[in-house]
Chains A and B, each alone.
Chain A
């Protein structure tokens, strides 16, 4: 039983990181039907910015938690700027082009950002300081769930609740939903669609950057390539939950994280990816539109 709990905790932590990234994929897809392959790179850039900021703040004598919060804040701002710029230079000029063109543009941006960080920073792995302190009260169950894992779960939960509130109860959220339903109609009733799309990219990037900071601090190392695998997994999670559907992305990410953890724990960690993608195949066969996705009617 304890072993099951340990694996579940590991799976939930993974799942919530995947969810933070998957939300960006699914929101962008929901609005402009684009798979933003450069999204994983935003997550990686968030982690790098946080590393640099925490290095600087450590020199100035800040302590653990304050560094974590400030680093996350600055990483989020930076990532938001990257996400905004990305959309502006790589996707907006292709808004009315065939759907394949922005897709290729996205892959190009992903490669560009990876190699940019490789050249500007380093191809080696870098040590990421453990910004999340060890809490006393977690010590008795540290072997099941440590402080870092608790912080990851709580932060992800807060971010997701915040996102839900934003989409459901604010003006911009309403505009986002309107744009998602019908871009032309939204424009006709006075929604500034370009702004809405920019905001969507910014929100997605902020969530990814938070994920990057949390993961860096949790596993203690980053390099320019971490965005690729995380991006693929998060994209899988988004598809699993039904791409375009926000609660679906979270559900898909948790299912994926738990599947990986149970597969590694009960079967073999050498094959965890096989099971993760196997579940994806299975669900796409049984429910082609994903767990919570609705079948899209073809407009004629």
Chain B
């Protein structure tokens, strides 16, 4: 294993001596697009590549950016960290100005160090792992998708600020997804300092009933419940809370926000809150991007298409605003200017996370999830 990596590295090193010569001849802007373009995770990477190519084609047709044509350079990393370092080295040696990617958090983390040393900015459409931005290790990293902990943060802030809850019970289904959300919610409730977590407990999915744990929530005097998990357990919990005459707000993650929950919970669903990705389908930019895609490919775009489209948009706008591809200028433009993109009107905060992207709180009203503004 190690040996093959070494061989590839040697190969890359050999190549790198030949290729940069073309880098200086640039009257084009080179945008590397790295992600899984082959292998079983390719469906997550290819839509971003297609989005970048579409944006580039449109911009080029309109005369390019600052009079220069935009060249998209796809690079496959198969979502594997060891291949991602190769891909990154290759892109750097080919003289890319900026990178869209990578797609998977693990691969992104492996590649970022290489871009950082080469002073290249990377904008990922999909790497949601929180430390990528929050650790401060990668000042050259930006993303057009909300990090994993955003949902827990939103649920915690909604419960304490909007609902005014003082004592919050947090339940989860013991799974990666549910417990992850519950952990983040707990962290942000405690960090907020406005409320305390009176109960943090796992329930067993598939257990006959949850009445005992519900009695416990009551005994702890909780005035809101945050639940991490999927809709079957959520509907069982909310149904039994109503049976036990407990009328306190119930907040779930996007695993609850769906038609499955509405169907199973029926009348009990009324008034339940759930966080979920913001609805961007009504934005004109988003609608146009989708329509163009369908016209070109004859099918609906795949996962992370919107985010990939937005990444390309912000990067080209930043190049235009700063008048070049210099690191400092790009950084200033990315963090300073709002841009209308396929995921909404966004700019980046000091850490590289997009402001204006992310999750909203929804509430079931008359049997439908309604976005609360």
Contacts and interface: CB of A to CB of B under 8 A. Distances in A.
Interface in A95-153: 124-127, 142-143, 146, 148
B268 interface: yes
Given A127-B264, A219-B236, A220-B239, A143 B218 contact: yes
Given A220-B239, A220-B268, A264 B213 contact: yes
Contacts of A223: 232
A17 B240 CA distance: 17
The interface size bin for chain A is 35 or more
B232 A125 contact: yes
Contact of A221 (B213, B215, B218, B235): B235
Contacts of A226: 206
B110 interface: no
A135 to B, nearest CB: 13
Interface in B264-323: 264-266, 268
Contacts of A148: 243
B204 A273 contact: yes
A229 interface: yes
A219 B209 CA distance: 7
A260 B203 CA distance: 12
A233 interface: yes
Contact of B204 (A6, A17, A215, A270): A270
A268 B206 CA distance: 16
Nearest to A18: B208
Given A125-B232, A233-B208, A270-B204, A3 B219 contact: yes
B20 interface: no
A11 interface: yes
B210 A265 contact: no
B260 interface: yes
A6 B213 CA distance: 11
B209 A270 contact: no
B321 to A, nearest CB: 49
B180 interface: no
B283 to A, nearest CB: 32
Contacts of B236: 219-221
A197 interface: no
A229 B264 contact: no
Contacts of B206: 225-226, 229
A256 B111 CA distance: 54
Contact of B209 (A127, A218, A265): A218
A22 interface: no
Contacts of B210: 269
Interface string B197-215: 0000111101111111101
Given A142-B244, A143-B245, A221-B235, A13 B209 contact: yes
B211 A269 contact: no
B264 A142 contact: no
Contact of A269 (B204, B240, B264, B268): B204
A260 B213 CA distance: 11
B239 A272 contact: no
A264 B216 contact: yes
Given A125-B264, A220-B266, A269 B208 contact: no
Given A143-B244, A268-B202, A270-B202, A7 B215 contact: yes
B174 interface: yes
A261 interface: yes
Given A3-B215, A10-B211, A219-B208, 7 more contacts: A142-B245, A220-B239, A221-B236, A221-B264, A265-B215, A269-B210, A270-B202
Interface of A: 3, 6-7, 9-11, 13-14, 17, 124-127, 142-143, 146, 148, 215, 218-221, 223, 225-226, 229-230, 233, 260-262, 264-265, 268-270, 272-273
Interface of B: 174, 201-204, 206-213, 215-216, 218-219, 231-232, 235-236, 239-240, 243-246, 260, 263-266, 268
